Structure 1
Amino acid sequence: MHFQEKSFLKEIDFNASELTYLIDFAIHLKALKQQHIPHPYLAGKNIALLFEKTSTRTRSAFTVAASDLGAHPEFLGKEDIQLGKKESVSDTAKVLGSMFDGIEFRGFDQQVVERLAADSNVPVWNGLTDSWHPTQMIADFMTLKEQFGTLADKTIAYVGDGRNNVANSLLVTGAILGVSIHIAAPASLQPEKWVRKLAEQYANESGATIFITDQVEEAVKGADALYTDVWVSMGEEIDVTERINVLLPYQINASLMKKTGKADTIILHCLPAFHDQQTVMGKQLAEQFQVPALEITDDVFKSERSKVFEQAGNRMHAIKAIMAATLGNLFIPTSFFEQK
C-alpha cells in the first residue's frame, strides 16, 4: 500500500505515479459528487483541523470533504488550543493523535507540521505553511488536466512573487510530474537556491523544463497556464511599497495574455485576489498605488479563460482524495503504479 497512514507534508512525500493517482482520484471523486453517489470512505473517523492562519478555501474544503467522506471534522483555531503556547507541539501531537484519526495543519512553520506527523502516529496533511502548499498542488494540476485532458507537454508560467510557498510547490510538483514550470519574478523575489536545486533534480528525471527569469515576456511564451498569487502574504513583514512597486511589471493583464502566443491559455490563481477594489485591503492598496488592480486585472480575472473558481472548487475534491487515500484503507492495485 502506497498511501495508507502516510502524511502529506510536502510534494516530495509522494512520487510522480502517486501524485498522478491523487489527481485522477480527485477527478473521479468530483464525478461521484456531481452524480450524488455517496462515497463514505472515512465513515466513523474524526479529523482535527488546526488553523494558525485564517482561511476560506482550505477550511471549507477540509470540512466539506471530511463530511462527504463520512468523517467528523473538528475545527481548532489558534485561540482554541494551546499549541506551542502552554503546550509543546510534540505534546499536542500525542494528545490529538490519541483522539483523532487524522490531523490537518495550516500555519507558518513547516517544522510544526513535521513534528505533528512525527509524534501523533496518525496521517497529517499540510493545509499550508510558509514553505509548501501541497494540497493546493493537487487541485492546481487537477484543474490543468481537466482543461487539457493531459499534463504531458504542458507549461505553467508563474509570475510575481517567486519566493512564496505556491511558487516553491509549483516548481517542485511540476518537476516531479514532468510539467514545465517557468517563473518570472524580480531577481530579489526568485526561488531560493535549495528549491531550485530540488526542482532541477526531479526535472532531470521527468524531462520537465525549469526556467527562472526576471523577463516576464520570455517566461510566458508558449504557456498553457498563467498563474499568479497575492503579492503580500499573510504574516509577512515587508515594505509593502517596495514590494508592490517592484512587482507591478509582473501583473497579469490582457497584454501579457497575448504574449503567450496561444489562444487557449488559462488563468490560475490560488486566491484571494486583488483584482478589483471590493475588499478593504484591495481598495486601500489600489488608492495608494493609483492602480485599479494589483497582481491581476479584473477583466482577465473574469474572462472565459480564467479557471480560478474551478480551481478553488477543486480544492475540496483534491483534499478529499488525499484524505481518502491516506486514511480510507482503499484497495489500489500495485499494477496502477507500475504502469506509470
Structure 2
Amino acid sequence: MTPAPTPAPAAVRHFLVDTDLTPGEQTEVLDLAAQMKTDRFAHRPLAGPRTGVVFFDKTSTRTRVSFAAGIAELGGSPLIVNPGESQLGHKESVADTARVLERMVGIIVWRTFAQSGLEEMAAHSRVPVVNALSDDYHPCQILADLLTVREHLGGTQGRVLAYLGDAANNMAHSYLLGCATAGMHVRIAGPAGHLPAEHVVAAARERAAETGGSVLVTTDAAEALDGADVVVTDTWVSMGQEDEKEARLALFRDYQVDAAAMARAGSDAIFLHCLPAYRGYEVSAEVIDGPQSVVFDEAENRLHAQKALMAWLLYRSGLAEDPR
C-alpha cells in the first residue's frame, strides 16, 4: 500500500509578490539577513541535505548563483533546472509538477515569465514557492536593495527612493510595493505610456498608508530626483525587446542617471542597479563606477537576503526549526 503523504503544515508561506510580507515580516527577514551576513552558516534549515529546486525559464547570473550558493549554505543541495530540462508547463501542468515536487524537495524557486504560473505552483504546493523573477515582479531583488539601503543609510523609514527609466516593468512594480512596505517615499519617473500598472500603484499607496511612506508617479525625472536618498534605474532593453532597441534608447534618453541626475539627488545619495548594466544607456560610467555607486554590495546582498527569506519561509511554514 502506498503511504499517505505527510499532512500539510497549517499555513505554508510563499513569496510571490513583495506584499506577501507585512511590514513587520519584511523587517524580520531583513534583520535575519543582516545576521546571516555576519554568520553565514548559523542557520541550516535545509540540513540533511534537503533539495532546493530552482527553475530557470530565463537566463541569469546573480539569481542563479545566489540561490544555488544560498541553498548550499543553508545546508541543502541546490538542483538547477534549465529551460527544456523538465516537463514543467509543457508536457505536464504546473499543478501536477507542484504535487510531485512537494514530496521531493524542501523549497521551490522559479524564474519565469507569467506571474500566473507562480500562483498556480503555490496553490498546489505544500512547500514554499519563491518568485525569483516574473514579468510582473522581482521581489527578491528588492529585499537585497533594502538590505543595502539599511547598511549604507542606516535604515529605510522615511528615505526617498527615485527610480528612473522604464517604469512599466517588474523592477518598477517591486520598488513601489517593496519600498512602500519599508516605509520609504517612492518616486517613479518614466515617459508617458511606460508608467507602472494602476493596480500596482494603488496597492503601493495602500501599503504606504500603513507604513508612513508615500508614492509619486511622474513623467518628470527632476521631480523624482530632487533630494532623493537612493537613485535607481534598470536596463532600457530587457530580454525579448532587442528588436526595439533604437526606439527605446531614444524614448528613455531623458531618464539616464548621469552626474547631473545624481547632483539633483541628496548629497549623500547612493546609486543602485540590479545589473546587468549598460554604461552610456540607462546609467553613465562615471555614476556606476563612481563613489556613490553601491551596486556590488547590492549584488552580494542577493545571497544574504534570499538565504534569510528562504529560512524565514521554512520556519514560518513549520518545515524547519528556528535555532534562535
TM-score, normalised to structure 1, is 0.88
Shift of 1:93: 1.3
Shift of 1:176: 1.8
Unaligned runs of 5+ in 1: 276-292, 334-340
1:127–1:210 CA distance, 2 compared to 1 (3 A): same
Shift of 1:177: 1.9
Q: Does residue 1:307 correspond to 2:312, yes or no? A: no
Which of 260, 268, 273 matches 2:277?
273
Q: Does residue 1:152 correspond to 2:139, yes or no? A: no
> 1:116, 1:163 → 2: CA distance?
25
Give the letter aligned to residue 231 of structure 1. Answer: W
Give the letter aligned to residue 118 of structure 1. Answer: A
Partner of 1:121, secondary structure, is: coil
Aligned 1:157-236 pairs, distance under 5 A: 157-236=162-241
Shift of 1:180: 0.6
Give the letter aligned to residue 31 of structure 1. Answer: T
Task: Report if aligned partners of 2:43, 2:311 keep a CA contact under 8 Å in 1.
Answer: no
Partner of 2:188, secondary structure, is: strand
Which of 22, 39, 46 matches 2:43?
39
- Larger mean CA deviation between 304-313 and 171-180 belongs to 171-180
Residue 33 of structure 2 corresponds to 26
Residue 338 of structure 1 corresponds to none
Residue 62 of structure 2 corresponds to 57
1:92–1:237 CA distance, 2 compared to 1 (3 A): farther
Q: Deviations over 1:88-117 (max 9, x none)?
A: 111111111121111000010001111111
Shift of 1:175: 1.6
TM-score, normalised to structure 2, is 0.92
RMSD of aligned Cα (Å): 1.8
Q: Does residue 1:257 correspond to 2:244, yes or no? A: no
- Larger mean CA deviation between 317-326 and 172-181 belongs to 172-181
Shift of 1:236: 4.1
Q: Where is the helix percentage greater, Structure 1 or Structure 2?
A: 1
Residue 282 of structure 2 corresponds to 295
Shift of 1:5: 3.4
Count of residue pairs the alignment pairs up: 311
Q: Does residue 1:126 correspond to 2:126, yes or no? A: no
Unaligned runs of 5+ in 2: 1-9
> 1:149, 1:236 → 2: CA distance?
37
Identical pairs, percent: 39
Give the letter aligned to residue 197 of structure 2. Answer: E
Partner of 2:155, secondary structure, is: coil
Partner of 2:193, secondary structure, is: helix
Task: Report if aligned partners of 2:51, 2:79 keep a CA contact under 8 Å in 1.
Answer: yes
Give the letter aligned to residue 80 of structure 1. Answer: E
